[in-house]
Amino acid sequence: MTTADLLGKILQVVMGLAVFAAVVGLLVFFIDKAPKKGRDYWQLALFLLPAMLFVVVGLVYPAIRTSLLAFQDRSGAWSLDNFIWMFTQPSAIRTLINTVIWVAIAPIVSTVIGLAYAVFIDRSRGEKYYKVLVFMPIAISFVGASVIWRFVYEYRSGDREQIGLLNAIVVAFGGEPVQWMQTDPINTILLIVIMIWVQTGFAMVLLSAAIKGIPTEQIEAAQLDGTNGWQRFRNVTVPGIRGALVVVFTTISIATLKVFDIVRTMTAGNFETSVVANEMYTQAFRASEVGRGSALALILFVMVLPIIIYNVNVLRKQREIR
């Protein structure tokens, strides 16, 4: 495409946006001149229309299309072959197991470490500096975090100097360097460590804010009753931040279920490390198996749905209590 063609395309897009804006402006003008009765409904419909169009085009239609493709084979015929492949092939089963392992470890560990850190540094001297140290990783993309940890897990064969921090420690204690990313199943655990490193700061910040929202009267009353630190934490702090705990845990769980960048950057799903999101991409765009990729996307949606429902139910109950 030449420069002139590119400029022509840009001009067409600009003209299209200008025409769209003009049409919307005219509609707003005529609705404003309409009788008072019914004007509010038309205005509401007009303002909601762009958002609804984006939702339909960008969310509803792709969801329906993906669901239909999940039940079609390569020839377009309706079948359950994609789901049979998913639950019978060892590689696909291992992908599902890895995803379950991620969800079973990353959200729990991230939330527990974030909560412990928030409790220990609460109202301590230099609290804001301690928070910055833990919060900094969340400002890094998953790809950036993976590149950083790639150097930690780096392996060099032979007698070459180990530049990977983990292997350097192993060699310093007289051990042999390990190809961490090619050693199953520890490679999956080491990838989960990256997710925990990134998400702990998120958990810490939200839970720290929730802890500061607990009325001091409750803590002082517990102290007057002669409770120790653990009893106050269990009977005052945790109930007081239950809503924040649910939000943090479910948010990290959803992010973990959808993890793609870390696995793709570190191993590309090789060496038994693939997860559903990565395998979905591999099948749909690498192996040209759109049906299998769509089936994996549908399974991923089904796995995320209970977490969302649980989150909504907990928040609704708390709202009713208030």
Full-model pTM: 0.83
Q: Cα–Cα distance between 188 and 101 in angstroms, integer?
A: 9
Q: Which residue has the higher pLDDT, 174 or 6?
A: 174
Please say if the pLDDT value at position 188 is more than 90. yes
| Per-residue tokens: 103 | 């969800």
DSSP state of 180: G
What pLDDT is recorded for position 31? 60
Residue recorded with tokens 């025409």:
19
List, in order, residues 6 or more apart from 267 with CB less than 8 Å away.
Answer: 181, 187, 191, 273
Please say if the pLDDT value at position 163 is more than 70. yes
Mean pLDDT of 267-273: 92
Q: Cα–Cα distance between 248 and 232 in angstroms, integer?
A: 21
pLDDT band at 154 (very low <50, low <70, confident <90, very high): very high
pLDDT band at 97 (very low <50, low <70, confident <90, very high): very high
Q: Cα–Cα distance between 28 and 45 in angstroms, integer?
A: 11
Q: Cα–Cα distance between 143 and 262 in angstroms, integer?
A: 6
DSSP 3-state of 224: helix
Please say whether the beta carbons of 297 and 70 come within 8 A.
yes
Give 276-305 pLDDT, tens digit per residue: 999 999 998 888 889 999 999 999 988 888
DSSP 3-state of 78: strand
CA atoms within 13 A on the CB side of 316: 6
Give 110-128 pLDDT, tens digit per residue: 999 999 998 888 777 778 8
What pLDDT is recorded for position 5? 66
What pLDDT is recorded for position 95? 94
Q: Which residue has the higher pLDDT, 315 or 307?
A: 307
The per-residue DSSP string of 52-67 comes to: HHHHIIIIIHHHHHHH
Q: Cα–Cα distance between 136 and 200 in angstroms, integer?
A: 10
Supply the mean pLDDT for the chain. 85
pLDDT band at 131 (very low <50, low <70, confident <90, very high): confident
Give 15-66 pLDDT, tens digit per residue: 766 767 666 666 666 666 655 555 566 666 777 777 778 888 888 888 899 9
DSSP state of 140: S
pLDDT band at 6 (very low <50, low <70, confident <90, very high): low
Taking only Cα atoms into account, the Rg of the chain, rounded to an integer number of angstroms, comes to: 26
What pLDDT is recorded for position 114? 93
Mean pLDDT of 67-83: 88
Give me the residues paired with residue 78 across strands.
72
Q: Cα–Cα distance between 83 and 299 in angstroms, integer?
A: 9
Please say whether the beta carbons of 98 and 259 come within 8 A.
no
Please say whether the beta carbons of 280 and 293 come within 8 A.
yes
